[in-house]
Amino acid sequence: MEKEWTSLGVRPSLAGRLKEAGLTEPAPVQAAAIPVMLEGLDVCVRSHTGSGKTLAYLLPALQRIETDKPELQALVMAPTQELAMQIVREAERFGGPEGVRVQQLIGGASVSRQIDGLKRKPHLAVGTPGRLHELLKMRKLKLHGTKLVVLDEADQMFALGSTKELEAVLDAVSGDRQLAFFSATLPPETSALAERLMREPVRIDPAPESRLPGSIRHYAVRAERRAQFDTAKRLLHALRPSSALIFFDQTDQIAHWEARLRYEGFAAGALYGDADKLTRSQTLDRLRDGRLRIVLTTDVAARGIDIPELELVVSLGVPTDAERYIHRAGRTGRMGREGTVVSLVDPRDWPRVGKLMRKLGIAIGERELYGGQLIDPSERKRDAHSRPAAGKPAARRAEMQPVKPAEEAGEKGAGAEAANAAARHRAAVSRPESRAGKGNSSRRERELDRKNKGAPRWLKAKWESERQSTK
């Protein structure tokens, strides 16, 4: 509630807007990080994707900004355009009413417009390393008044080789600045860099034993590489997700899969790392509003994407390192929502599944597609064992039924066929012989015998007595 936000040090006006947005109480990472950041200390935060990291640093940043000073006071760096724009939207949503001016500085957007935006003296900037470095070299970005620098998805920026640009930006900031690293994973090399760049950082890890949300279900399906498209198609039919991401290790198959999925009737699109900003933004907007159901992408392109209602993540193969799996799986199950992650694994790579489970401390259940459903293989085996008893041929089941005595059954027990046969016979014996004589009569009798061959023994005896009485 509002009181709980204010107990962390969040000012009442911001706490009120959080309540209006439906955020009645802080998430664990927010409760741990906000007080420390408000003190001005360097922090290194690890928390799983979708846990609320963005507001954990944005709220302290917005609160510490002095809106009467016309200078850039806080800078947030993100590895991708999409993540940067998501941060911009959140900053404008909560900071705009507080009088905070926000400027995006991302690659793929117009540099001249960004320069014009910087002339309006924003208080907070959100950008990607490459564009920030470019603006610094052009002497259009002034960071002398910046007192807070945040690196969101810090490990990915270092993995993408942005260390040089990062250090150039940090060198342009005053020495007494506050530095914060936020990420779902903090590999040893990232932690070592934090030690070098930070001053006695406070390490925050709200759930060290849990690297992924507990609301996510993890499954693995055996599928040879050449059969992965058909397996993925059957999976989509079985689970019928409203939205799904399919992860590829390389981009060379994405266009082919996109075309095939569209041919099969799926609303599919692609998200490439080198696509222009407008195309990428339109693809994500179409996925969010339901015009697309499936987006094919890579790890880099999907880093930090926030699609709250995403139901399914499909990974083609098992990632070779746990961090990549965390970031793929973390696209779903955000902020406590349920989600499903299915890895399509070549049988030769199956041992990787066990290694991943041990490293992450999660359970990845083996599943298979059977009867249009994603099931546990043991269920199919049990079904196969029980089927012969439950599904015997009709003739065999008839043999197993007890037979009623003929006297007890009567004409009703003999059934409609016997009754019809009796009626045909009575009509035949009461009919006068034709002029054709005995030859025709004997033929008629043989025909009746043939037709009535299957009648009950008691009925045949009755017919015989009737035939004898008419002679």
Q: What is the pLDDT of residue 385?
A: 63
Confidence grade of residue 303 (pLDDT, cut at 50, 70, 90):
low
Residue whose C-alpha is closest to residue 166's, from 65, 277, 61, 78: 78
Residue 370, C-beta contacts closer than 8 angstroms, at least 6 positions apart: 380
- Choose between 436 and 78: higher pLDDT: 78
What band does 404 get if pLDDT is binned at 50, 70 and 90?
very low
Where residue 170 falls among pLDDT bands split at 50, 70, 90?
confident
Q: What is the pLDDT of residue 43?
A: 95
Q: Is the pLDDT of residue 262 over 80?
A: yes
Across 410-431, average pLDDT:
48
68-72 long-range contacts (CB < 8 A, ≥24 apart) are 69/123, 69/145, 70/121, 71/121, 71/123, 71/142, 71/144, 71/145, 72/118, 72/121, 72/122, 72/123, 72/124, 72/125, 72/141, 72/142, 72/143, 72/145, 72/146
Residue 205 above 70 pLDDT?
yes
Q: What is the largest CA-CA distance in the chain?
A: 129
More confident residue, 264 or 392: 264
Helix (H) or strand (E) holding 10: none
pLDDT at 454: 55
The region of weakest confidence among 147-161, 195-209, 323-337, 393-407 is 393-407
Q: Which amino acid makes up residue 403?
A: V
Dihedral angle sign, alpha carbons of residues 253, 258, 261, 262: negative
Residues in a beta bridge with 298: 248
Distance in angstroms (rounded) separating the CA atoms of residues 75 and 216: 33
Asked if residue 106 has pLDDT above 70, the reply is: yes
Residue 9's Cα: distance from chain center in Å? 36
Q: Is the pLDDT of residue 431 over 50?
A: no
pLDDT at 250: 86
The answer to whether residue 293 scores a pLDDT higher than 70 is yes
- The whole-angstrom separation of Cα 200 and Cα 195 is 8
Residue 139 confidence (pLDDT) above 50: yes
Q: What is the pLDDT of residue 206?
A: 81
User: For 10-45, what is each residue's pLDDT tens digit?
Assistant: 999 999 999 999 998 999 999 999 999 999 999 999
CB-neighbour burial class of residue 215 (10 A; exposed 0-12, middle 13-18, buried 19+): middle
pLDDT of residue 234: 96
Residue 468: its pLDDT value, please? Answer: 66
Q: Which two tokens stand for residue 25?
A: 């109480």
Q: What's the full length of the chain, in residues? A: 471
* Banded pLDDT at 435 (limits 50, 70, 90): very low
**Is a pLDDT exceeding 80 seen at residue 426?**
no
Q: How many CA atoms lie less than 13 Å away from 81 in the CB half-sphere?
A: 21
Residue 117: is its pLDDT beyond 70? yes
Pairing of strands 244-248, 268-271: unpaired
Helix or strand or coil: residue 149? strand
So what's the pLDDT on residue 405?
A: 41
Determine the average pLDDT of the residues in 193-203: 87
First and final CA of the chain: distance in angstroms? 105
Task: Give the pLDDT band of residue 93 (cuts 50, 70, 90).
Answer: very high
Mean pLDDT for the chain overall = 82
Tell me the C-alpha distance between 249 and 150, whole Å: 29
